[in-house]
Structure 1
Amino acid sequence: MPIIKKFIFAPPFVLLLAAFYQNLNTYLGNIYFIFSLDFQVLLQIITFLLLTLLAGLFFAVFITLAQDLKLTLPVAFLGSLSSLIFIPPPFNLVILLGSLLSLILTSFTLSKKLSSYLNFQPTNLLTPSINQLSVLLILVASITFYLAADAQIKKAGFQIPDSVIDPVIAMSMNNLTEGSAEIPAQRAQPQIPPEQIEMLRQNPTLLQQYGLDPSILDELSPQTSKTPQNPQQALIKNEVKKQINTLIQPQIQFLPIILAALFFLTLKFGLSILSFILYPAIWLIFWILEKTGFTTYTKEMREVKKLVV
């Protein structure tokens, strides 16, 4: 087989793995995305999982066509190097080493399987290796996510995302409003004049005397908030955050592990759902390769030894 045929699937694999690293970097910068209920976040997770599966698929096909570890291992190393571009240090070294080990392990296991099969059935031969590589990549990504979460929490503490608190508070306030006959349905929410907000900003001790964080003024001020909240909702949210942080503080050292575990389990669950695309994708790739004359099949007779009593 000409050398060009052996490397035809190497460039797509390298590009897909680079896209995998680029998408992973967005999660390292936002460790609380796991709590988001936004549909856009769901699409990002699906995209990330598809990139993982496709990278594994193209790498497995490349190994199958190359049939030589001297060709596959350098490509695996080259693909892993792209992590140095998209992942910030020192996390890029972790993802580089983990990805490289995962690719090497997959190369050896699949090459061994390809050297001992009796009948070439690509879906049965390649699917387990692709799933194995995908899980390993997600595991390495989860370890990197843990390191990023640990660094952020140590630096800025644990921050409850507003996307989690706001819907709960809004729902609670709506229920209270609907259940109270004394509150008019269209009552205007009280607002604090900007002059009083500025006065409180200059005298933060007044708020601290009542156990309030001065940063709450940023949420009440229309100059610093694109969607200023009413004082009641802002005070409730601030108090909820304060209470949650008080409860979490004694176990804050375990939060990075919990976040990383949620990250891994979420991706693993999504991977198990999306992996159904591997069977038709593998079949289609090798069907096209055969019909275009890119690959051919040969039949051979082998001697077998049977026990006769």
Structure 2
Amino acid sequence: MSRLVLGTMNFGTVTSEKEGHEIMDRAHEHGLNFFDTANVYGARPGVTEQIIGRWFAGGGDRREKTVLATKAYLPMGSWPNEKFLSALHIRRACDASLKRLGTDYIDVYQMHHIDRNTQWEEVWEAFSVLRQQGKVLYFGSSNFAGWHIAQAQEAARSRHFLGLVSEQSIYNLMNRWIELEVLPAARHYGLGVIPWSPLHGGVLGGVLRKREQGGASRGDSGRSADALAAHLKIISTYEKLCADIGEDPAHVGLAWLLAQDGVTGPIIGPRTVEQLDGSLRALAITLNSATLTELDELFPSPAPNGAKPAPEAYAW
């Protein structure tokens, strides 16, 4: 699969269906074959999957050329069995996603969140049925703690089932918490790690430079604005570092993730074709050791006794 993952969260909200189709066309032109979505994405639940499904229906081996990942867990309605990871909801959610996506199988079916009230035996039994039926090839997790990954894998092992193949976590220079337990667990169990929010909601995307140039940025609103206000000096230093090496901050943020051990590919969420084209620059950037050290000093790892990587940092 491609080193960058096309995130479709904007399709059906800030990005129209026509633009979404153009972005997916361009992704294939560039060799980006891994598309990530979820059943709740869109102006209302299911809309984004429907947009992707209508794109697949355009033919040209679009589906065959795509590694397709979607998710289930969050509420799709107000009734009790329209959410979480009960066997009933897993079955219904998968069938509904397949219908909206216009396909007969999902490459990677992801749990959008841990379900603390459903036993792993029930979850894996439901997933094994989906795999036996040919509806899902692989299973992944999202927003899991390292302990959850270990629980899931050991429960799968007891059933002689493959278990998880991927974990999708928030991970970027400003949010490195997964380095404590999630990354080590993923490496131990052989899971690919797919970072979401690689630019911390736009804060790492050159927000200060764009502000000076009179442009708009995602980093200027909502939680991103709060993060920017709290770390203004650090972000200013980061943008200067990027300028010194002649690269865009957004591309440096993605390149840093690509350089991390265990990361399969960060999710980019372009709202336009132009944004997609620009993101590809990250694939050509190799950050040298001096730059990586500067970034570590500017955005230090949360691991205790930082001389050692987690989880060994907890030992002495």
Give the structure with the higher percent helix: 1
- Normalised by the length of structure 1, the TM-score is 0.22
Give the structure with the higher percent strand: 2
Larger Rg: 1
Bigger relative contact order, structure 1 or 2 (CA pairs below 8 A, ≥6 apart): 1
